[in-house]
Structure 1
Amino acid sequence: MNGIKYAVLTEKSVSLFQKNQYTLNVESGSTRTEIKHWVELFFGVKVTAMNSHRLPRKGRRMRPIMGHTMHYKRMIITLQPGYSIPPLRKKKELK
């Protein structure tokens, strides 16, 4: 399960919940089949389709040396109808 970094919760990714699609950041070296296997095994769901793209690297200057941030791959995972990932669909309650 070390290939999946974290779920992405942006305005666009939250709107994709209605289409039964979830957005995850994964390690750049992970393959689509590995990610599909991990998601199906860990969450107990069936994956229909997967779309992926690499995020652009951002530069970071550390005095005279120019560095870059970590590379991640973003996956948009479509689940079969009737399946969902409950921890991502929970709304935050106000106190």
Structure 2
Amino acid sequence: MKLLKHIDFIKYPILSDKSTELLKLRQYCFLVDKRLHKLEAKRAVEFLFAVRVSSVNSCNRSPKCRQIGKFSGRKPSYKKIIVTLAPGNSISLFADS
């Protein structure tokens, strides 16, 4: 894990109805590398966004089966983290116009 840089750990933020509601509670959702541990996730978010993280929750999502017509397949599995920031910290996910 030492060979990867902090920017390689976090792939992109997850923007859904639930994650936008969590922004009110200073919680941010990110899709991350499957091998990432909670402590490494905390360090990566603190380094990339220059914020103070109070807690990290993570979950591994299993692959889902999908079928379109006669073709069936599987969506890939992924790891998601929910980061809670300390009071007074925030991450700007949307560009200010």
Superposition TM-score tier, normalisation by shorter sequence = 0.7 to 0.9
Matches of 2:58 and 2:65 in 1, distance apart?
22
State the Cα distance separating 1:56 from its structure 2 match.
1.7
Q: Structure 1 length normalisation: TM-score?
A: 0.79
Cα RMSD for the two superposed structures: 2.0
For structure 2, which runs of at least 5 residues remain unmatched after alignment?
A: 1-6
Matches of 1:82 and 1:32 in 2, distance apart?
22
Matches of 1:67 and 1:30 in 2, distance apart?
26
2:89 corresponds to 1:83: yes
Task: Name the residue aligned to 1:21.
Answer: 27
**Secondary structure, aligned partner of 2:84:** strand
Q: Structure 2 length normalisation: TM-score?
A: 0.78
Q: Percent identity among equivalent residues? A: 37
Letter matched to residue 53 of structure 1: C
**Ranges of 4+ aligned residues in structure 1 off by more than 6 Å:** none
**Secondary structure, aligned partner of 1:24:** strand
State the Cα distance separating 1:5 from its structure 2 match.
1.0
For structure 1, which runs of at least 5 residues remain unmatched after alignment?
A: none
Distance 1:58 1:39, change over 3 A: same
- The alignment of Structure 1 onto Structure 2 pairs a total of residues equal to 87
CA deviations on 1:60-89 (whole Å, 9 max, x unpaired) are 78xxxx864433111000000110001x15
Check conservation: 1:52, 1:75, Cα contact below 8 A. yes
